[in-house]
Amino acid sequence: MVSLAQSMADAKQPAPDAATFWRRQTQAIADVSGPVATLHLGALRHNALDMAVRAAGVPIRVASKSVRVRAAIDATLALPGYAGILAFTLPEALWLAETHDDVVLGYPTVDRAAIATLAQSEEACARITLMIDDLAQLDVVDAVVPPSARPTIRLAIDADASWRAPALGHIGVRRSPVHEPGEVASLARAITRRDGFRLVGLMMYEAQIAGQGDATGSGDGLIRWMQQRSSAELLERRQAIVAALRPIAPLEFVNGGGTGSLEFTASDQAVTEVTAGSGLFAGHLFDGYRAFAPQPAAAFSLEVVRKPTSDIATVLGGGWIASGPPVASRQPKPVWPAGLRTLPREGAGEVQTPLQGEAARSLSVGDRVWFRHAKSGELAERVDHYLLVDDDTVVGEAPTYRGEGKAFL
């Protein structure tokens, strides 16, 4: 069987117009009953190469939570410009480290069973880096396996990259409690005094830049103003944090950014690598950016099962809501035929989703409607596999984490 990496390398460019793109995908899955999730290989390759260009030679660490398909992670890491994985749970990191030698856990862990498994393996401890922002997290590790009974565990500090605006307060996500250079340095010194740990890295994720579109059509001017000022503050503070850490521990990596901030983060001389993942599959939350326009690599198709009125077509399924605040943008987006919308009182339903619009008049029972999930990786939790599409042909399939029997969160 041809690998996903080879299929992606050989894939045709995606059609330049939406009508042809979705019509060819519909043709590719004509004989497959819904719901159907697809990965368009030409679009995936386009997105991966575009991200590498945007990173300007700074290596990209793949955020696995935004993919959740091992074959796609492997295929991306085979491309120039990519190195390493940012995992989201320790059990996942242990699984991925069976075949990858550079896995950073992007979040703290208190999973005692997984910590015990990690501590039993010299190889796993050499391949996996844990993320911390509090000494209490080290206490949990020591309580599971004391330093004398385990290999040295690699650590990275997650430092808060949010902007504390003079008048507006906290802007960004609530992650780490350490924000100022002195706070990060104090934590680093405390780590070096602990047996059984080695500080090797720093991560700072600027969500207010990387995860906030600046061309959504709503408040764009204010968003750009905020991002410009936040970027200037973060550039200075991150460099100061790295300078404070260098005498304390020889850092192997300084990680930052996300799909939406690749240009800015890669331009920071203190950063040695960037993280990205959402831009590969291109959930629709990443449509509203000036700097890039990803191709819709991941999508799913549902079938019309009833017509309650002439201008409403109801598909089976649809309620695959993304995580985050419960707002309209977290719903899956009907993208083809164009002009469909969910009903305000129903939205995307648990079992069925009524869709209204002029395009619904031409839909018949048995026709297909294409959707894009809001977030790139979460669609994989709903299906066992993606069908791999090259232009108008299914050329294979790739199991999701779920399809491999894994459910990490």
Average pLDDT over residues 82-108: 98
| Least confident range of 146-155, 224-233, 327-336, 375-384 | 224-233
Give the CATH number of domain 4-40+292-404: 2.40.37.20
What confidence tens digit (pLDDT) does each residue in 158-194 have? 999 988 888 788 888 899 999 999 999 999 999 999 9
Structure tokens that stand for 137 in this block? 């997290």
- Residue 103: DSSP 8-state: E
CATH numeric code, 88-276: 3.20.20.10
- What does the pLDDT average to over 386-393? 96
Q: Looking up tokens 């999973």, which residue turns up?
A: 111
| Higher per-residue pLDDT: 333 or 217 | 333
Which pLDDT tens digit goes with each residue over 268-296? Answer: 999 999 999 999 999 999 998 988 999 99
Residue 354 dihedral angles phi and psi, to the nearest 5°: -75, 135
What is the bridge-based pairing of β-strands 385-390 and 393-399? Answer: antiparallel
Q: Which helix (H) or strand (E) holds 96?
A: helix 90-96
Task: Calculate what percentage of the chain has a pLDDT beyond 90.
Answer: 84
Domain positions in the chain are 4-40+292-404, 88-276
Helices (H), 181-258: 181-192, 207-210, 220-245
Query: Do the two domains 4-40+292-404 and 88-276 of this chain adopt the same fold?
Result: no
CB atoms within 10 A of CB 154: 19
pLDDT bin (cut points 50, 70, 90) of residue 1 is low
- Bridge-partner residues for 313, per DSSP? 355
Asked if 124 and 118 count as a contact pair (C-beta separation under 8 A), the reply is yes
If DSSP states are collapsed to H, E and C, what string results for 374-407?
CCCCHHHHCCCEEEEEECCEEEEEEECCHHHCCC
pLDDT digits (tens, 9 = 90+) for 58-82: 999 999 999 999 999 999 999 999 9
Reported as a single tens digit per residue, the pLDDT across 317-367 is: 999 998 888 888 889 999 999 999 999 999 999 999 999 999 999 999 999
